[in-house]
Amino acid sequence: MSAAKRYHLSASGWVKVALIALLGLVIVGGGAFSFWRFGDMLPFFHVNGFQMGPTKNSLGAHDWRLGAGSQNLSSSGALKQIRCQWDVSELKLVVVPGGQLSVSESSPEVLRPAQQVHWALDDGTLYLLSDLETQTGLWQPQDKTVVVDLPVSTAGLANADFKLGSGDLDLGALQAQKLTCDCGVGDVTGDGVVAQELTVDGGVGDARLSGSFSNITENGGVGDVNISSAVAPQSIQAVCGVGDSDFKIAVSSGFSATVKTGVGDFDCGFATTRTKVGGAQVYRFGDGSRSYDFTVGVGDLTLAPLS
């Protein structure tokens, strides 16, 4: 009787087996995630003519208002923060004179209640939910634009947190002590934005922000980043992904910038001295009192004075 044959996989064979197993996990995991997100949106119910829900989502359950409307902030106290979960369409924030907070939307489609923007004002917090159906995968929308008018009295918020899926975000001239943009697919823009702490977690799209920022954290995705600050930030922590990053800041007494480059060039517009520390280059300007740290993936990095 002949001996049993033994089969040995080559290195490339093991790689193929691992890839097939990984693909299976992705398919199973994606299906489970979709089912969980679908279940998260239910149930819905109506109270006083307004659709309420979802009863489970990252923003909690509120007496949602739909479509267009306004609310007098003087009757509800000052607006302290914004929490936004935005899965689709364009969102614009506009700082306007007056005492009315309003939310309006426009679309070439006739929107059902579940497709409209949902918003609520609760204990000084404005909650914004783009819609319900996109999160369940039941609706593929056409163009839709939502505009939020913020009274000038609410320009200085304690916190503004935006979690974005697909669509552009225009911050206008928003002011907040802490501003966080967790980006998906789309551009984030703003002119005259003011924040003590600015955090931009990049997705796929460009970020173009100008204003005044005391501390900047940027985690790049795929796209260009352009940040201009009329004050010299105390700290910058930037991990650039794929795309060019351009930081223009006010001239200060000095900074120390640690730069690790991948595929791309670093251009510094300040008169600095340079030393090599490990695998990084350290650029010192003036007294070196401010701390900047840049890690570049694929793309060019520019640090220059704001003209």
Helix (H), strand (E), coil (C) string for the chain: CCCCCCCCCCHHHHHHHHHHHHHHHHHHHHHHHHHHHHHHCCCCEEECCEEECCCCCCCCCCCCEECCEEEEHHHCCCCCEEEEEECCCEEEEEEECCCEEEEEEECCCCCCHHHCCEEEEECCEEEEECCCHHHHCCCCCCCCEEEEEEEHHHCEEEEEEEEECECCEECCCCEEEEEEEECCECCEEEEEEEEEEEEEECCECCEEEEEEEEEEEEECCECCEEEEECCCCCEEEEEEEECCEEEEECCCCEEEEEEECCECCEEECCCCEEEEECCEEEEEEECCCEEEEEEEEECCEEEEECC
> Residue 11's pLDDT band (boundaries 50, 70, 90)?
low
User: Do the domain assignments include residue 10?
Assistant: no
Average pLDDT in the chain: 80
Q: Which structural domain range is residue 284 located in?
A: 59-305
What is the domain count for the chain? 1
Instruction: Assign residue 243 the CATH number of its domain.
Output: 2.160.20
% the chain with pLDDT above 70? 74
% the chain with pLDDT above 90? 46
pLDDT on residue 39: 33
User: Do the domain assignments include residue 237?
Assistant: yes
User: Do the domain assignments include residue 108?
Assistant: yes
User: Do the domain assignments include residue 151?
Assistant: yes
User: Do the domain assignments include residue 9?
Assistant: no
User: Do the domain assignments include residue 137?
Assistant: yes
User: Do the domain assignments include residue 15?
Assistant: no
Say what the pTM is: 0.79
User: Do the domain assignments include residue 233?
Assistant: yes
